[in-house]
Structure 1
Amino acid sequence: MPLPLYLLAMAVCAMGTSEFMLAGLLPDIASDLDVTVGAAGTLTSAFAIGMVVGAPLVAALARNWPRRPALLGFILVFAAAHAVAALTTSFFVLFAGRVVAALANAGFLAVALTAAAALVSPDRKGRALAVLLSGTTVATVAGVPGGAMLGTALGWRATFWAVAVLCLPAAVGILRGIPAGRDEDPALGRPALRSELAELGKPRLILVMLLGALVNAATFAGLTFLAPVVTDSAGLADWWISAALMLFGAGSFVGVTVAGRLSDRRPGPVIAIGGPLLLIGWPALAVLGKEPVALFVLLFVQGALSFALGSTLITRVLYEAEAAPTMAGSYATAALNVGAAAGPLVAAASLHTGGGVLGPLWASGCLVAVALLIALPLRTVITDQRSTVVLR
């Protein structure tokens, strides 16, 4: 894999740390800013909504920009938004800062996903996506648990400062490692924007985007409210939140790595095996989550299954959107973050049911069940890129 791909993954790690870190900081943010934990959870949705809206919008605006300055500008805006968030005492300003950061993240990912696919041969998109998404999994293994530990020791604001600082070496890496020549300009040889947007009318593309969104919604529903499961349900100290996040992240790294080797040529087995196991895993976590050993084992497994299935579906988005070379990354980003926005909202509503702090885990299981019910009769359409089946 080309070196610039790993530099992009480093930047994705910084951004992924921010996207996932609230899972360990919500109680402290809620207490400091005098809001409920459920209200604090909407910060995750705010970030995701910003990415859903921002991905196609910013990608369309950035179509004529050379990739290096576009990527550099996005990551610097992202860092600045975190610095402002670390200084504010207003929940509204923090909320707005998350939206701005999300717009920058959306633009970065939209360009980075397209750039990653362009750096490799057409039949290795899954491998390239796996390298890029490994930045997210490293964030969940090291960045997010580290942020949770830093937040426990020094307060949640220190974690926001840390993300801002983490963006700087990534920016230097982009500046030094991403070529700036005209042959790297995404504007060269691109189709018209209207024709790229018309790809969104393809039923097969809509299907894989929907399934990717549902699986990611399940992931974020369970992960966003993981801290209360660890401390209230399992009865562990706050420091164990970092360990739980680290195990989920380690599993996600394994899942995305394995899926990266299969999603180009053999996506069918990943979906057919991983989907039902993921469906079983979330309710099992809700039932057995009171036992610390079972909790940690299942978190690792669910991390692996969630990212294996999710990354495979997002790879299918890139394949189905081949005729939209400058916008395909934004479609994949939007699909991921529709789920990231919806998942915490569904999970927050489940907190007021009889499930209590375990409600989000049941909600995750329901979201996966919906995805499988949709996917089962259409599995050949999802897994066979050359299929001539047409959805009606």
Structure 2
Amino acid sequence: MNVSGSHSKIIETELYRKYLYNDIIDKVADKLRKHLEMKEIQHFMLRYIFNKIVERKLENDPVFIHQPSDICLLQVEKDLEFKNIPVNPKELVEYIDQLLNDAETLLNKAMNDNTISMDKPITYQRENNIFTYDNKIYKNISNLGNFSNPDLYCYSIALNIRYSYLHLSTHGLARDYQKMGYSKYDGFEIFASSFNHYFDLYHSAFPDLEKPFGSLGSFFSCVDPSLLKCSIDTVLNSIRNNEYTEGMEKKFKECFFMSDVYKKNMNGKSCYYKSSKNRYKNKVMFVNPPFDMVLMSIVFFIFEYLNIEYKTIFTVPNWSNFLFLERMKRNSRTKRTIVYSKGTLKFINHMNNKKIYPCDIAEMYLYPDL
């Protein structure tokens, strides 16, 4: 048994953030409970937060991102339209953003006033692989809180808390890469988490808690700002017009190399490619974004103008009338597309060790241009 004392406020801050987020959920539910079940509202808000993360700034709170987002507005418009909910989307978005702003203000005040207490001692029971904090038991999910490094205990518990109150446990699915024949050194994941990743190199949504476990941070924060802005503008205009609407993308000419992105972000960690000459190395990039139409469309567009240097495998829902999915299937670098009917392609939820077969899945194989 290991007992760790802490000089941080990481867990207590996350518990207060949980309290504030649950209050937001309750208030949004008051607006939507006539039309949606609570699980649907939780999923709606999770996707809202994910879409906010696309444009999150360094100065933002990791969860309470309150600046206006046209991405979120489009998400809400489409959700309300699909469910035929008679609520004004712009007013709902403004309401949610104000709730996020109020929550950030309260959190900052509590941190500045020192009303958030120091973290309490943490006990790790190796034989049961569990933590005990303030008389509550937390699983050591994915063995993040390695018993040889007690400094990680607080991050493991705080991340457990965040993923729980955001209801992320069933939305961070991973492929069974080991059974696919890959070692943990063979590639990396663009959308993963410290709980749900297989490869040593991975991006995740919450670098404030996940970088201690090796996360490279949010993928969107690594994308060139001009390409990201063009992606957002083009996707939003195209979806609203129900057809591809060309923006400023022609000027890019696929000039953004992924290796350049990682040269800036590896912080001394050895990456597996050294130049763009050896492009067909046995390395694979897996892209498994959250299942949100707007967010996935932005990711598809970004990869049209990233000069990839290795095989890339997209795993996304094979939804009908999905403009940017069909566009990616026709991309010159997409050499193969496999469609799996629901129940035939397995995903893993490492948080609860469950196997999930979510829906019809399109698996697209992209190769670099030589």
TM-score by length of 1: 0.26
- The structure showing larger relative contact order (alpha-carbon pairs under 8 Å, at least 6 residues apart) is 1
Structure with the larger helix share = 1
Structure with the larger strand share = 2
TM-score by length of 2: 0.27
Greater radius of gyration (CA): 2
